[in-house]
Amino acid sequence: GVRADGSAFGVLFDTTWRAELQCTDSTIELQSEGPPCRVIVIDRSSPQQVVRGLAELTGTIPLPPLWSLGFQQCRYSYYPDARVRQIADEFRKRQLPCDVIWVDIDFMDHFKIFTFDPNYFPDPSATNSYLHEHGFKSVWMVDPGVKIEKGYSVYDSGTARDLWVKAADGKDFHGEVWPGQCVFPDFTMPETRAWWGGLYKDFLATGIDGIWNDMNEPAVFDGPDHSMPQDNHHRGGAGIPPGPHTRYHNVYGMEMVRASREGVLAARPEKRPFVLTRDNYLGGQRYAATWTGDNVATWENLKLSIPMSINLGLSGQPISGPDIGGYEKVATPDLFGNWISLGAFYPFARAHKAKGMPNQEPWEFGARIEAVARTALTRRYRLLPYLYTLFREASVDGLPVMRPVFFADPADPRLRKEEQAFLVGGDLLVVPRWAKNVTLPREKWRETHLLGGSDENDGFQPTVKIRPGAAVPLGEPIQHTGEYDLGTLTLLASPDQNGDAEGWLYEDAGDGFAYKQGHYALTRFRLHQGDRTIHVAAKQTEGDFPPRPRRLTVRLVTDIGELVASGDFSGSTNLTIDPKKR
């Protein structure tokens, strides 16, 4: 809740039991099927401070690998392996920036997790090597349902250890998912989580980069409400008490991704894990990113994706986004063009499509929409220095990357219902091209361009505005994060009434954990606009990365147009404004 003066509060009902929440203008009521629970009130000076307070209680995201901020392409399913290589080839041939190809369940042998179909994917290591050689990472699916089949190693080893969720009668619970009748790991048990994590070692040895945990509500095709019976039994351990599924349904997915992340980290301790989950819980941001689930290719779902992603951020999960283009139904070229243009600004940017639907790669909609997608993705990749800095901020204090407009001025009640426009960090305001009657801050945010060319005026790209007094770091156009290099840097700046602007840049190796030992750089840039020059000063405030010389371009967005200055830079300098680019 946000009060008239901009101060704010948050209310947390600390229970995992099945519950119902009702809010009115004057009351907040939770009815739970469990015992009385703690009610925690976070009362702070601003909504930003409330979100920070939530992070103090539930934790923050680990810093993600840089590649996970790039664009990602998925469908149910790319198979056989030749199709995966073909998709990768098309992205590179068409100069469409992309970092990740996703592989859905059809890679498995009869949908048995941690297996590979001998016909469709006879050599997964070769497939991943091909992707790596062409600048791609890969993310592969692992569901919780384990096929009941004697001789199948995952089933046999879990059964020998007695690790499955129990039915009310004490026997192993059986339910139908993709492989047929399955058992389900009881992730409340520490021995189950340790066993599950150990299954990733050989799986990742094929060169897989990231893990996708789907169907983990848990989904059960022949169960009540397509899930487990509420009287199923979980045995707990190590501080988690035994209890019925009605107590642990809401945290089943979180405990699964907790085990997955720990297993991935143990198998590859030198790399940052990336795990995506369909189901999570408050605090689950410590283990996995979240997407908004199976959506539909409609304008309604496109528009809903904005408040859904914002709300996930306000709930402590800054890495989120929907299936770009819509998972179900057929997207029109106009809808897809608008969706991928908006998708460039989601924290997690992945296109995805269901089986049986037409192909939905950008080139499938014709040359015009392919060009729209190229512009949108180039915009995202130019923003990577700013986005990575925001993700670092989220890892420190829990602030979301995608933010509601009212964060720009919490005391302005007009902004509180705005759900078409949104903020990216504190310095950029994004207004979708289709948005109508948008409510914007009273302070004058100046319209700008990320690419500086006419391509952004194609009728699809959202308008981008920059906050007065802000300086946003931009990188060079690249095809994937393997080409990321900030030896050439652009500062997009909007001076305040005194001619000043300030911004931040975070740099590290992009992967691994050396940053935890101080191997990074957090740099503050300060700019001042003169008559014919722009003074730029940089100060590294944290980290032991040695200051690096750069080729620096400053694009100053002013009321009379854009001023451009560039030159070699290493700490402090006056850059002369180019009169030809005024």
Residues designated catalytic: 214, 217, 294
3-class DSSP assignment, residue 26 = coil
Place of tokens 């690998």: 65
Region at 299 (left for phi over 0; alpha for psi -120 to 50; beta for the rest)? alpha
- Whether 203 and 275 have beta carbons less than 8 Å apart is answered as no
d(CA 468, CA 204): 46
Place of tokens 């988690």: 240
Closest CA to 417 of 404, 429, 427: 404
Q: Sign of torsion, CA 335 340 341 347?
A: positive
Neighbours of 46 (CB within 10 A): 16
Region at 147 (left for phi over 0; alpha for psi -120 to 50; beta for the rest)? beta
- Whether 435 and 421 have beta carbons less than 8 Å apart is answered as yes
Neighbours of 125 (CB within 10 A): 12
Give the bridge partners for 323, in sequence order.
350
Distant-in-sequence contacts of 16-24, Cβ < 8 A, 24+ apart: 16/247, 16/248, 16/250, 16/251, 16/281, 17/246, 17/247, 17/250, 18/230, 18/246, 18/247, 18/249, 18/250
d(CA 419, CA 88): 35
Helix pair angle (333-343, 299-314), 10° resolution: 20
